[in-house]
Amino acid sequence: MITIPPYLRPGNCIGITCPAGYMPAEKANKCIETLQSWGFEVMVGKTLGSASDNYFSGTDEERRDELQAMLDDKNIHAILFGRGGYGMGRIIDQLNFKKFIKNPKWLIGFSDITILHSHIHSNFNIATIHGPMAGAFNNIESDDTYVNYLHKIISGKKISYSADHHALNRKGSAKGQLVGGNLALLANATGTKSDVNTKNKILFIEDVGELLYNADRMLHQLKRSGKFSKIKGLIIGGFTEMKDTERPFGKSIETIISDLIQEFNFPVCYNFPVSHDLKNVPLKIGIEYELKVGKSKTILKEL
């Protein structure tokens, strides 16, 4: 049985921390202002805009200790990560989740945060949110932006998403817990304590900036480790800023995926709005969803 953290109410506190790559403090100003306008208090960690002189937002110990403190603090009701990048895998095994298990809270992020989502779902069966991080709030232009879905999600509202038809879609319907995230991190976690369990689940994947041959390699790694063999459905999000080698790989990312999964018969949706681009809807990891891939569009609905 999945454990669902308490949904947020006005007056609750959201912590902001950067457990991976560096992020200038000013890039989170719009996020802080927006969260406050939604009625929440905000606690900003020292890793945001830290004095780091390298890629990371602090030493491994500084990033670990700040995240640990926010996980343990009963007065923080959700944690919104500043950015991803790289770094969670360096500290994940040093975190202590005993207090978090007793008092779970929503953890919100994507990209490098995928490894945290998978770790918590596979080991503790607690729901988390794969969704926009602090930097994405700078893109808010109207009430229907993807970031604003996050307000509804953390407040307990169930949201249904749709995607336009794609020529490679495979029609069908499925129900199951939703898992997934960034392809590179899912592949990287294979064989570790953070390995994602995909059996009887709906799996979604996305990525950014990868060479096509490397994406093909990671997809084959997932296939060889059984990640596609028992899933209920597959959602392909955005694969943005993909790169090719001087001698072309010869296939698009969509064709690579389609060819790889030919032997399976689960429904498949392409170009779903979850990505490193502006189109990045918040999704609850571990929660039951229904996926319907139809003739003209795809619907993903929380049950």
Residue 268: phi and psi, rounded to 5, are -135, 135
What tokens does 87 get? 């770094």
Decide: 43 and 15 in contact? Cβ < 8 Å.
Answer: yes
Q: Do 13-154 and 160-302 share a fold?
A: no
Please tell me the pTM assigned to this model. 0.97
CA distance 254 to 228: 16
Q: What is the pLDDT of residues 52-104, one digit of tens each?
A: 999 999 999 999 999 999 999 999 999 999 999 999 999 999 999 999 999 99
pLDDT of residue 143: 60
In the chain, the amino acid numbered 42 is V
**Rg of the chain on CA atoms, in Å:** 18
The residues with which 213 forms a beta bridge, in sequence order, are none
CATH number of 160-302: 3.50.30.60
Cβ neighbours around 285 below 10 Å, total: 26
Sequence ranges of the domains in the chain: 13-154, 160-302
Which residues of the chain are under the pLDDT cut of 50? Answer: none
Q: What is the pLDDT of residues 142-168, one digit of tens each?
A: 666 788 899 999 999 999 999 999 999
pLDDT of residue 215: 98
Residue 70: phi and psi, rounded to 5, are -70, -35
pLDDT of residue 139: 82
Tell the burial category of 303 from Cβ atoms under 10 Å away from its Cβ (0-12, 13-18, 19+): exposed
Cβ neighbours around 79 below 10 Å, total: 25
Decide: 129 and 107 in contact? Cβ < 8 Å.
Answer: yes
CA distance 115 to 125: 14
Q: Pick 13-154's CATH classification: 3.30.428.10, 3.40.50.10740, 2.70.98.50, 3.40.47.10.
A: 3.40.50.10740
pLDDT of residue 26: 97
